Structure 1
């Protein structure tokens, strides 16, 4: 747990991943380690939004783990926690389609999430 006051973050999600988060099926969110996410910590909340809509879902950050790349992240977290509807290789391909190599080079974050309440 961080020693500062929990923060609130807003992030966009594609509909297919949003629905898994909202259903409580997806427990690990994958992100590039952008500077704006450097302070993300257990206890924070994230409001996920489907871009261009009013559909939102709030979750609590339970843990943030950094990995050097997406392959290591999937191996460390288990692909079923990231997306139970896709095989590991398909997930890796999908993630890399969203984040090109120069983004992946920043590092990968596994954000373990849980529903509020």
Structure 2
């Protein structure tokens, strides 16, 4: 008999504007700060994105996690269209830094490649 490891499900909040492009399958890279609770995130994990204050969720499979020193390096390495196809690189950088100030960025930036899971 073979044992299968339990799938780890992490719940993370998303703003509506980002949730919608994840749910549409247009956003394939999620950007996060390398907080301690995300350090062990690995391919095969599931992220359940939730719009804060709602019951609306969407599950995605983690395909890859890549660490970068800065958000600029992340956008250049992953391609801005994969992070948010509706915004320019400069607008994305401004938006990300509005969410995560410099002291958070100093922790490191994570590019999480995601794939929609069947509903």
Q: Please, what TM-score do these two structures have when normalized by structure 2?
A: 0.93
Aligned to 1:76: 77
Alpha-carbon displacement from aligned partner over 1:17-37 (angstroms, at most 9, x marks no partner): 000000000000000000000
Q: Distance in 2 between matches of 1:28 and 1:62?
A: 10
Residue segments in structure 1 that go unaligned for 5+ positions in a row: none
> How many matched pairs?
114
Please state how far the C-alpha of 1:7 moved relative to its aligned partner.
Answer: 1.3
1:9 counterpart residue number: 10
Which sections of structure 2, spanning at least 5 residues, go unmatched? none
Matched, 1:104 2:108: no
Aligned residue for 1:66?
Answer: 67
Give the secondary-structure state (helix, strand or coil) at the position aligned to 1:91.
helix
Larger Rg computed on CA atoms = 2
In the alignment, the residues of structure 2 paired with residue 115 and residue 52 of structure 1 have an alpha-carbon distance, to the nearest angstrom, of 22
User: Which residue in the other structure is 1:26 paired with?
Assistant: 27
Root-mean-square deviation (Å)? 0.9
Q: Residues of 2 paired with 1:115 and 1:31: CA distance?
A: 18
Q: After TM superposition, where is structure 1 displaced by more than 6 Å over at least 4 residues in a row?
A: none
**Alpha-carbon distance between aligned partners in 2 of 1:5 and 1:65, rounded to the nearest angstrom:** 23
Q: Tell me the TM-score normalized by structure 1.
A: 0.95
1:56-112 per-position Cα deviation (integer Å, ceiling 9, x unaligned): 000000000000010000000000000000000000000000000000000000000
Distance in 2 of aligned mates of 1:41 and 1:27: 16
